[in-house]
């Protein structure tokens, strides 16, 4: 049996669907697994050691967004009610999709002991190697004994650079892993810079299944009775909302918007003709499936637009010069699949241009071949 160390519980559409795709990949290969549950129980010494983590810029940015969301709930009780509806939808999907769970390991010592029940432990497929999370020694598999196989599956640092003061520790955990694969080109370069190892760039787990296979995993359901634009923004840029409105005025289509995702956004209050909150990951996917156009700043919003061969446009959530930018994952996706022209460059109406999905599919198949070869090798043997 293998232990799976991923964020299956985080209320994020892309994150939960990629975790779902990860376990479905394992099931499709007949691999016995369980999702590792870990509850921190910090000693005073560990708490002191964690203090420097609070100064990490990426963590501070994430905490700031969470703070804005909590403040938005306090100021706007209606939003708090709506967000509770969304959280309930996530909970229902999570309880149904993720049932193979480990015992709950309470405290790091128990986690280290619990790891011995596995033939291998796999991590990856999200920004789990972000510098913000390094001190926890969880997603980097430092808790797994040396003799147990450690696998990285399409892992991501989520950043373009590792802070200088974390480079040695990052190199140390990378060298302990038996198999490493990355989701981004820049991630592979970082591993090379820190360890000298050449590691493959493979596809995010959601690409393990094509359009028809996803329809078997999550049945198609028509959400709207008229054509629409689907707008899914994690960032708060008001100009992006104006651009989608421009597209709606030009095409005469209504806008379906998911509001206030990672934070409370004032402009979202008047954004969209239809703004549902009772949206679990399966319904999220169906909104993409039924859309005429998809406008997003989300990596996985882009992935599912490609899988379903949609006309889409990608907005940058972060400024490229930002120290907390996480644009590298979208950079790699666009470069590797040849869809860089779908990046927003000032004119939203460019979204109406056709995409040569025959070429995209050809590139996808080549990357799927690399991905499957890596998975076959990493999970070979007695697992």
Whether 205 has a pLDDT exceeding 80, the answer reads: yes
Give the Cα separation of 12 and 93 in Å (integer).
Answer: 12
pLDDT at position 382 over 60: no
Same domain, 231 and 288: yes
CATH code where residue 153 lies: 3.40.50
Note the pLDDT tens digit of each residue in 242-253: 999 999 999 999
pLDDT at residue number 127? 84
| Tokens standing for residue 358 | 């025959």
Looking at the structure, tell me whether residues 63 and 201 fall in a common domain: yes
pTM tops 0.85: yes
Same domain (yes/no): 117, 75: yes
CA-to-CA separations, 111 to 22, 41, 90, 244, 286, in angstroms, rounded: 22, 11, 26, 47, 38
Burial (0-12, 13-18, 19+ Cβ within 10 Å), 169? middle
pLDDT band at 262 (very low <50, low <70, confident <90, very high): confident
CATH of the domain at 245: 3.40.50.2000
- Pair 10, 130 in one domain: yes
More confident residue, 76 or 256: 256
Strands 293-296 and 254-258: unpaired
Same domain, 89 and 99: yes
Among candidates 92, 105, 137, which has minimal Cα distance to 279?
92
Question: CA–CA separation, 226 vs 230, rounded Å?
Answer: 12
Is 157 part of any domain?
A: yes
Residues 161 and 241 in one domain: no
pLDDT at position 49, please?
58
Res 275: pLDDT: 96
- Res. 319: pLDDT tops 70: no
In this structure, are 285 and 191 located in the same domain? no
Same domain? 75 vs 160: yes
- 87: Cβ contacts below 8 Å, ≥ 6 apart: 11
What pLDDT, on the 0 to 100 scale, is given for residue 13? 97
Predicted local distance difference test score (pLDDT) of residue 197: 97
Residue 102 belongs to some domain of the structure: yes
- Same domain as 134, residue 261: no
Q: 99: domain range?
A: 2-208+366-378
Q: Answer yes or no: is pLDDT of 54 > 70.
A: no
On whether residue 383 sits in a domain, the answer given is no
Number of domains in the chain: 2
| Residue 64 located in a structural domain | yes
- For the stretch 173-200, pLDDT in tens is 999 999 999 999 999 999 999 999 999 9
pLDDT confidence of residue 43: 66
Identify the pLDDT of residue 77. 83
């Amino acid at each position: 049996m293998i232990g799976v160390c991923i964020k299956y519980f985080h209320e994020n559409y892309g994150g939960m669907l990629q975790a779902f795709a990860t376990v479905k990949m394992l099931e499709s290969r007949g691999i016995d697994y369980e999702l590792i549950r870990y509850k921190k129980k910090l000693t005073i010494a560990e708490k002191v050691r964690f203090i420097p983590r609070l100064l990490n810029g990426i963590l501070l940015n994430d905490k700031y967004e969470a703070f804005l969301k909590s403040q938005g709930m306090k100021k706007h009780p209606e939003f708090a009610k709506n967000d509770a509806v969304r959280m309930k939808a996530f909970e229902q999907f999570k309880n149904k999709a993720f049932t193979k769970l480990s015992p709950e390991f309470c405290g790091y010592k128990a986690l280290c002991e619990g790891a011995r029940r596995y033939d291998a432990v796999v991590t990856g497929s999200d920004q789990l190697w972000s510098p913000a999370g390094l001190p926890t020694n969880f997603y980097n598999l430092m808790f797994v004994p040396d003799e147990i196989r450690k696998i990285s599956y399409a892992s991501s640092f989520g950043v373009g650079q590792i802070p200088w003061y974390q480079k040695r520790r990052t190199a140390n955990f990378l060298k302990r892993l038996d198999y490493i694969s990355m989701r981004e080109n820049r991630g592979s370069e970082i591993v090379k810079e820190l360890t000298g190892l050449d590691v493959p760039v493979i596809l995010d787990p959601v690409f393990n299944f094509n359009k028809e296979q996803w329809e078997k995993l999550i049945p198609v359901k028509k959400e709207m009775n008229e054509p629409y634009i689907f707008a899914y923004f994690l960032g708060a840029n008001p100009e992006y909302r104006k651009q989608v409105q421009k597209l709606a005025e030009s095409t005469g289509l209504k806008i379906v918007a998911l509001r206030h995702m990672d934070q409370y956004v004032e402009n979202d209050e008047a954004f969209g003709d239809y703004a549902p909150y009772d949206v679990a990951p399966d319904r999220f996917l169906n909104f993409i499936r039924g859309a005429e156009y998809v406008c997003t700043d989300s990596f996985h919003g882009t992935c599912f637009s490609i899988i379903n061969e949609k006309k889409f446009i990608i907005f940058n959530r972060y400024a490229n010069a930002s120290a907390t930018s996480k644009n590298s994952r979208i950079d790699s996706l666009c470069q590797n699949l040849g869809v860089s022209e779908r990046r927003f460059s000032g004119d939203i109406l460019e979204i109406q241009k056709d995409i040569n999905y025959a070429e995209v599919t050809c590139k996808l198949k080549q990357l799927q071949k690399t991905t499957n070869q890596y998975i076959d090798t990493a999970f070979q043997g007695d697992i």
